[in-house]
């Protein structure tokens, strides 16, 4: 069954179980996680209050954006010194090459798993230079 834009309007939640609106047509008072974060808020443990749907072509399911109530949102927790240190260590670990043990200076590509010089050493027959 193909979903049309008109099928995405269900403000009572009879069809989808929660209030559903077409893409970019959510009423005031609802926001996505990104919109909450931009406003300095977080969902704060509240359940999804509504959703926006956007139909797609070629048999794929619709795009879904979950919405939360803005009046129930809580302020973002401040960054503590301990969290800042932990985040710096985690980011440093993402740059450390397991092959040569050096800091690559960039986040290692997940597809390679190592830094580019270790993944493509000079003198290989594939023609890729480091």
Cα separation values, 101 from 89, 91, 129, 130, Å: 15, 15, 21, 17
| Percent of the chain scoring above 70 in pLDDT | 92
φ, ψ at 81 (rounded to 5°):
-60, -35
**Which of 1-15, 26-40, 44-58, 110-124 holds the top average pLDDT?**
26-40
pTM: 0.69
Same domain, 12 and 64: yes
pLDDT, greater one: 77 or 129: 77
Residue 68 and residue 46 in contact, taking contact as beta carbons nearer than 8 Å: yes
Residues 59, 17 share a domain: yes
Residue 11 has a CB neighbour count (10 Å cut-off) of: 10
Averaged pLDDT for residues 68-85? 96
What pLDDT sits at residue 118?
92
- Residue whose pair of structure tokens reads 């926006």 in the numeric block: 52
- Number of structural domains (the chain) is 2
Q: Is it the case that residue 76 has pLDDT exceeding 70?
A: yes
Domain that holds residue 55: 6-75
Q: What is the mean pLDDT of residues 97-104?
A: 93
State whether 115 and 56 are in the same domain: no
d(CA 32, CA 23): 12
Co-location of 21 and 69 in the same domain: yes
Asked whether the predicted pLDDT for residue 128 surpasses 80, the reply is: no
């Amino acid at each position: 069954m193909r979903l049309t834009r008109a099928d995405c309007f269900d403000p009572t939640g009879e069809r989808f179980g929660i209030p559903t609106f077409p893409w970019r047509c959510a009423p005031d008072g609802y926001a996505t996680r990104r919109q909450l974060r931009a406003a300095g808020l977080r969902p704060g443990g509240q359940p999804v209050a509504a959703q926006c749907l956007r139909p797609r072509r070629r048999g794929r399911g619709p795009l879904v954006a979950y919405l939360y109530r803005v009046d129930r949102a809580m302020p973002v927790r401040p960054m503590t010194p301990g969290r800042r240190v932990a985040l710096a260590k985690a980011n440093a670990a993402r740059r450390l090459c397991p092959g040569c043990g050096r800091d690559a200076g960039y986040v290692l590509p997940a597809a390679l798993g190592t830094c580019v010089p270790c993944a493509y050493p000079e003198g290989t027959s594939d023609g890729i230079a480091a």
